């Protein structure tokens, strides 16, 4: 298939990839900060600083997930249906984890109790860790292949998704988000907390890139379940670029280049998502049998639907990007620990009063 229909299908596949990339870059550092908020904090003030670093923006970052899911449903309904049939339990777990994270922000300060706060801190860590791992598992399975029926429905069970390759993919996404979150904290905070975040980013960034390269090599060695539209060298090169970006992020941190480090880790995640999308194209889900893979043509909506969606996206996407850019600019200041004022010294009584008391 070629011509305007094929071009519009491809354009929407690419746009959905951009939406997922935006979500994973922005929500990725939220996940990383959520896990690290307990690991690198020394007291309750540090934990509150970690939360405050992402507090004004975390819910806005999740909008990207809603838009990506909605665009997938409208543009490629069979892709959406197949993903939910295959990943129903993992996606339900991710949804529960995201709900727990959101509730933790609202409820942590409702009671002045160390145990209460510790419980919601643990909820933030658990919700962030589960979601960060699950997204890597899901996207690795999409590229590696699922057992699809001829109707495009998943034929396996939950354990069929937990292959060794998919688990390593989950660890790769978790490592990337932890490194990205540490780089964000080093940029967003000051003092000892920022120094600890900087050291964490230096240690986490190289393994994160190495895991992505390892996943790409593993997939290339195992071959794919059906022909792709691009050379296998393209996703491998992008995975290598991801590894280089994370290594460079670690390299600039000792010089205090926190902004560069954060930008490079974001670039690494972008390269990893692009590697997934180029490995899939022109498929949207790779099938290991007995049914065929879902492609841009077999899973797409009607051409008129895509035309209307394109007009709506052209109007509203720039507005959303402008608003989110403005919110990041407003909350760009570094966070510092509050200065503890010494208690005022007691006033000495006048000399006559002291003499009378004596």
- Rg for the chain, CA atoms, rounded: 24
Tokens of 206: 């190289």
CB 100 within 8 A of CB 127: yes
The torsion angle over the Cα atoms of residues 100, 102, 106 and 109, rounded to 10 degrees, is 60
How much is the pLDDT for 336?
A: 82
How much is the pLDDT for 350?
A: 54
How much is the pLDDT for 169?
A: 94
Per-residue pLDDT of the chain (358 residues; tens, 9 = 90+): 444 445 888 999 999 999 999 999 999 999 999 999 999 988 888 899 999 899 888 888 888 999 999 999 999 999 998 888 888 888 899 999 999 998 998 888 888 888 899 999 999 999 999 999 999 999 999 998 888 888 778 888 888 889 999 999 999 999 999 999 999 999 999 889 999 999 999 999 999 999 999 999 988 876 654 455 777 889 999 999 999 999 999 999 999 899 999 999 999 999 999 999 999 988 998 888 788 888 888 888 888 888 998 898 888 888 888 887 888 888 778 878 776 644 445 555 555 444 454 4
Q: Residue 283 phi/psi, 5° resolution?
A: -90, 160
| Residue at token pair 């209460």 | 116
* pTM of the predicted structure, to 2 decimals: 0.88
Q: What DSSP element (H or E) covers 294?
A: strand 294-295
Could you tell me the residue ranges of all domains in the chain?
A: 4-357
Local structure of 146: helix, strand or coil: strand
CA distance 87 to 84: 5
Local structure of 286: helix, strand or coil: coil
Cα angle, residue 123 at apex, residues 121 and 127 outer, rounded to 5°: 125
Q: How many CA atoms lie within 13 A of 211 on its CB side?
A: 23
CB 128 within 8 A of CB 35: yes
| Residue at token pair 């491809």 | 10
How much is the pLDDT for 341?
A: 43
CB 82 within 8 A of CB 293: no
Contacts 24+ apart (CB under 8 A), 65-70: 65/23, 65/27, 67/19, 67/320, 68/16, 68/19, 68/20, 68/23
């Amino acid at each position: 298939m070629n011509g305007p229909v094929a071009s519009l299908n491809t354009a929407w596949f690419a746009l959905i990839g951009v939406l997922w990339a935006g979500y994973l870059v922005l929500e990725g550092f939220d996940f990383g900060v959520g896990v690290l908020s307990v690991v690198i904090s020394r007291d309750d003030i540090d934990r509150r600083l970690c939360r405050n670093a992402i507090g004004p923006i975390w819910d806005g970052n999740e909008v990207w997930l809603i838009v990506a899911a909605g665009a997938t449903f409208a543009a490629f309904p069979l892709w959406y249906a197949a993903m939910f049939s295959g990943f129903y339990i993992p996606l339900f777990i991710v949804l529960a984890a995201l709900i727990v994270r959101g509730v933790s922000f609202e409820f942590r300060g409702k009671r002045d109790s160390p145990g209460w706060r510790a419980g919601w801190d643990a909820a933030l860590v658990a919700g962030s860790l589960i979601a960060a791992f699950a997204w890597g598992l899901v996207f690795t399975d999409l590229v590696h292949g699922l057992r699809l029926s001829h109707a495009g429905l998943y034929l396996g069970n939950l354990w069929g998704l937990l292959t060794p390759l998919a688990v390593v993919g989950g660890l790769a996404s978790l490592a990337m988000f932890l490194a990205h979150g540490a780089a964000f904290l080093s940029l967003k905070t000051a003092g000892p907390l920022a120094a600890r975040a900087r050291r964490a980013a230096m240690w986490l960034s190289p393994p994160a890139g190495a895991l992505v390269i390892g996943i790409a090599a593993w997939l290339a060695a195992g071959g794919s379940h059906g022909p792709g539209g691009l050379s296998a060298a393209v996703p491998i090169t992008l995975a290598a670029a991801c590894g280089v970006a994370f290594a460079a992020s670690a390299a600039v941190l000792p010089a205090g280049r926190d902004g560069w480090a954060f930008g490079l880790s974001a670039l690494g995640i972008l390269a990893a998502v692009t590697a997934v999308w180029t490995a899939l194209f022109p498929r949207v889900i790779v099938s290991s049998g007995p049914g065929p893979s879902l492609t841009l043509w077999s899973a797409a909506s009607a051409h008129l639907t895509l035309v209307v969606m394109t007009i709506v996206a052209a109007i509203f996407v720039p507005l959303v990007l402008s608003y989110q850019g403005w919110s990041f600019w407003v909350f760009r200041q570094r966070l510092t620990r509050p200065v503890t004022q010494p208690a005022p010294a007691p006033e000495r009584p006048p000399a006559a009063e002291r003499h009378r008391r004596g």
